[in-house]
Amino acid sequence: MRTIKMGIVGLGRLGKRHAENIAFRVPNAELLAVCSIKQDEVDEAQKNWGIKYAYTNYKEMLENEELDAIFIASSSTEHCKQIELALEAGYHVFSEKPLGITKEEVDYITNIIEKHNDKKFMLGFMRRFDPSYLYAKKKLDDGDIGKPMYIRCYSIDPVSAVEGAIAFAEKSGGLYLDMMIHDLDLARWFLNSEAKTVFAVGDNYLYPEFGEHDDIDNGAAMIQFENGAVASFFAGRTSVHGYHIETEIIGTKGTLRIGTIPEKNLVTVFNENGAVRECHEGFLERFENAYLNELQEFVNCVLEDRKTPVGAFDGLKATEIGYACKQSLITNQLVML
């Protein structure tokens, strides 16, 4: 059985999970190298998981000729240059979103990725690999709800994680590019159409600290797509009940809803608060299967020499909408794409 030997850069909140998935949960994948600028993260991964190579310098990892592919899960500010370096060194690349945190970076790296089309490149829009979203997409494509007219997306991080989000804000690209981007991509995917006009509003309702990085703690956007469908989005950092991810698609013959109540599982707790359905606590829990499935798909694409289902173009398009949202927020004007 051929395996894809991978090196991962970034061993933080999400990188650690991706690393574990590569090392232990995906057939045909092998975690040969880990890299982080934090020595303790690298030491811990190497010791606990028995990883052959460990680096604190990314360029040194790229010199390891035993590797086939690089997985990028570092801070968003690093993605653009790390993608370019990995492709130029001859590796297949999976990168966490976003492609970059400025429009120039995203345009630039999209061209570089297209230039290296002999290598596989996949972007981490993992919601497309979540079993419920896949199920809904099939129903939509089969015409079960007719023509989609409206899509509504909520993505609200738990307030319990807000300190981390504030610390991350400087390198995140802001609420629209960091958080809402998943829903912007989902809307393109579900509607098979591109955004046409964008209007966005938002503020720092609870945490002015985000303002120090030109960011907001909660924001919304309304977008019209080229096919006439309308979409409304809400993203935030202050959900009190848990990690709230919800999507609704209203079609001419029916409606699909995913995650109306972001339930943790099938258990109802009856207590002094009534009949309680507990909620997911964060992205690692809610999208556990999606992270695994996207990695498996990337490995399969490399092994079978197939085109990856989510590429630079998707990153570029979602980013363009995210920027339009940011621009609309600042100018309080409708933005035409």
**CB closer to ligand NAI out of 15 and 219:** 15
Six-digit token string for 152:
């509504």
- Find the helix or strand (DSSP H, E) in which 294 lies: helix 288-304
**Least distance in Å: CB of 291 to ligand NAI?**
8
Angle between helices 181-191 and 312-331 (to 10 degrees): 120
Q: Minimal distance in Å, beta carbon 124 to ligand NAI?
A: 5
Q: Are 176 and 200 in contact (CB under 8 A)?
A: yes
**What are the residues whose beta carbons fall under 8 Å from the beta carbon of 210, sequence distance 6 or more?**
165, 166, 169, 175, 204, 216, 217, 237
**CB of 16 vs ligand NAI, minimal distance in Å:** 7
CB of 85 to ligand NAI, least distance (A): 10
Is the Cβ–Cβ distance between 40 and 101 less than 8 Å?
no
Q: Return the number of the residue (139 or 171) whose C-beta is nearest ligand NAI.
A: 171
Q: List % helix, strand, coil for the chain (3-state, nearest 5).
A: 45, 30, 30
β-sheet bridge partners, residue 177: none
Closest to ligand NAI by CB, 222 or 285: 285
- Return the number of the residue (3 or 77) whose C-beta is nearest ligand NAI: 77
Output the smallest distance, CB 182 to ligand NAI, in A. 7
What is the C-alpha to C-alpha distance for residues 75 and 15, in angstroms, rounded to an integer? 10
Least Å distance between CB 66 and ligand NAI? Answer: 19
**CA nearest neighbour of 13 among 207, 282, 213, 238:** 282
User: Measured from the CB atom, is 185 or 251 closer to ligand NAI?
Assistant: 185
Q: List residues near ligand NAI by CB under 6 A.
A: 9-15, 35-38, 41, 58, 73-76, 78, 96-97, 124, 126, 178, 283, 287
Output 38 or 147, the one with its CB closest to ligand NAI: 38
Q: Which helix (H) or strand (E) holds 184?
A: helix 181-191
